A = this chain, B = another copy of it.
Amino acid sequence: MTLEQLEKLMDQHFPTWRSFSAITSLGEHDITVKMPFRKDLMRAGGTISGPALMALADTAAYYLTLVHAGPVPSAATANLDIHFLTRPKPGDIIATAKMLRLGRRLAVSTVDLHAGDDLVAHATVTYALPSS
Residues of A within 8 A of B (CB): 13-14, 43-45, 47, 50-51, 54-55, 58-59, 73-74, 76-87, 100-101, 105-106, 108, 110, 119, 122, 124, 126, 128
* 14 A-B pairs with C-beta separation under 8 A: A14-B43, A14-B44, A50-B76, A51-B51, A51-B59, A76-B84, A78-B126, A80-B80, A80-B82, A83-B100, A85-B108, A105-B105, A110-B122, A122-B124
- Report how far A51 CA is from B83 CA in the complex, Å: 16
- Shortest Cβ gap from A65 to chain B (Å): 13
Given pairs A80-B80, A110-B122, 8 additional interface contacts (CB within 8 A): A54-B58, A55-B55, A78-B106, A80-B81, A81-B82, A83-B100, A83-B108, A83-B126
Instruction: Answer whether A79 and B83 are a contact pair too, CB < 8 Å, given A58-B54, A106-B128.
Output: yes
